């Protein structure tokens, strides 16, 4: 299978200088692309000068993660796209273990490797860890990471396992399945669009897997700081959009209402912690959700499905009340 490694870039010369060498070195069996979101620094010139084998796709605007990738991928013909963050260091033999899962099982449509923390390499990284899930109320969690608790990598996830969502930091996706599912939803702009995509891929009968034999290191927060209110805004809003768009029946609205009440608790927690910007980020997230309601109710008619999307009712309850901080204790 032909593979395209596509790195989305926006004014990221420093990140490309730091991490592109490992991608080029360990991806000889793939074609490497930089998809540039109308950068105003000299990152494109830098890649052209120092990485002659890397192909450059120049987007006309910075449309965020979703639009940036959709625009860049339209003219590529490889069998598998790898959507790779610019702040990821890959390792030797990171491609083949994952690609082989696609080759062995035609129902596999998306996958991710083991994602470890670049700054603390013995631990899993927040954005994806060893594969993602969501609870009934749309809260994401991972094998190896629940909320802000990160597990040490002790080989406990050195397996191939079916998951609900694969991380957008290093997302392998079958090209035809990507387009058949409707590509990335550009209304999300950034954050959790991979959860939405994986939901739709599975609604069409596809399988998402994690492959522990492949390993990458992710900086995390390099493009948007982990405690940035904008990240809080997108995560809370887009999580609500995921539920509205993809669930079916009246029970979905009960779950949404419960989720919004839990968001209110989280907002006041930020106030207590003297983080008013995050309080207002959650408020703005809900207001933005209401503004997008008519549009997403129309999308719901197209994309909602009866797919069982959760195995755990409330990760909030398990983590904060039952004190279950590790995936294997759930």
Give CA–CA dist 282/101, Å, rounded: 39
Give the pLDDT score at 226: 54
Give the pLDDT score at 315: 97
Q: What is the pLDDT of residues 56-102, one digit of tens each?
A: 999 999 998 999 999 999 999 999 999 999 999 999 999 999 999 99
Give CA–CA dist 273/298, Å, rounded: 38
Confidence check: pLDDT of 12 > 90: yes
Mean pLDDT of 285-305: 97
Confidence check: pLDDT of 232 > 90: yes
Mean pLDDT of 224-228: 63
Q: pLDDT band at residue 221, thresholds of 50, 70 and 90?
A: low
Confidence check: pLDDT of 203 > 90: yes
Structure tokens at 52: 């002659």
Q: What is the pLDDT of residues 16-48, one digit of tens each?
A: 999 999 999 999 999 999 999 999 999 999 999
Give the pLDDT score at 192: 95
% of the chain exceeding 90 in pLDDT: 94
**What beta strand segments (E) does the chain contain?**
3-9, 31-37, 55-59, 80-84, 88-90, 108-117, 120-124, 132-134, 140-142, 145-146, 149-150, 160-162, 170-174, 207-218
Structure tokens at 114: 């083991």
% of the chain exceeding 70 in pLDDT: 98
Residues 6+ apart with CB under 8 A from 201: 109, 110, 173, 177, 178, 181, 208
Q: pLDDT band at residue 55, thresholds of 50, 70 and 90?
A: very high
Confidence check: pLDDT of 225 > 90: no
Give the pLDDT score at 279: 96
The pair phi, psi for residue 99, each rounded to 5°, is -60, -35
pTM of the model as a whole:
0.96
For CA atoms 70, 303, 141, 274, give the dihedral sign. Answer: positive
Closest CA to 111 of 216, 8, 7, 189: 216
Give CA–CA dist 29/25, Å, rounded: 10
Q: pLDDT band at residue 190, thresholds of 50, 70 and 90?
A: confident
Give the pLDDT score at 311: 95
Structure tokens at 88: 């990821």
């Amino acid at each position: 299978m032909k593979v395209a490694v596509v790195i989305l870039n926006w004014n990221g010369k420093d990140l490309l200088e730091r991490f592109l060498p490992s991608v080029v070195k360990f991806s000889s069996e793939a074609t490497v692309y930089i998809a540039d979101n109308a950068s105003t620094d000299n990152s494109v010139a830098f890649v052209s000068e120092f990485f002659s084998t890397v192909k450059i796709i120049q987007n006309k605007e910075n449309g965020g993660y979703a639009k940036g990738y959709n625009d860049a991928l339209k003219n590529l013909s490889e069998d598998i796209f790898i959507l790779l963050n610019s702040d990821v260091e890959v390792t030797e033999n990171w491609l083949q273990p994952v690609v082989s899962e696609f080759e062995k099982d035609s129902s596999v449509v998306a996958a991710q490797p083991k994602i470890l923390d670049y700054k603390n390499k013995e631990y899993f990284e927040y954005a994806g860890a060893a594969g993602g899930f969501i609870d009934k109320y749309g809260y994401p969690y991972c094998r190896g990471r629940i909320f802000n608790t990160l597990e040490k990598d002790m080989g406990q996830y050195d397996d191939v396992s079916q998951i609900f969502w694969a991380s957008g930091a290093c997302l392998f996706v079958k090209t035809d399945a990507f387009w058949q599912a409707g590509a990335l939803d550009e209304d999300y702009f950034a954050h959790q669009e991979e959860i939405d995509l994986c939901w739709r891929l599975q609604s069409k009968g596809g399988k998402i897997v994690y492959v522990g034999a492949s390993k990458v290191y992710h900086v995390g927060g390099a493009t948007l700081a982990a405690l940035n209110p904008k990240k809080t805004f997108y995560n809370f809003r887009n999580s609500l959009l995921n539920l509205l768009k993809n669930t079916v029946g009246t029970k979905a609205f009960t779950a949404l209402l419960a989720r919004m009440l839990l968001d209110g608790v989280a907002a006041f927690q930020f106030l207590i912690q003297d983080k008013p910007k995050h309080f207002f980020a959650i408020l703005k997230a809900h207001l933005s959700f209401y503004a997008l309601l008519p549009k997403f109710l129309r999308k719901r008619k197209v994309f909602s499905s009866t797919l069982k999307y959760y195995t755990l009712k409330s990760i909030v309850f398990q983590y904060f009340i039952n004190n279950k901080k590790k995936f294997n204790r759930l």
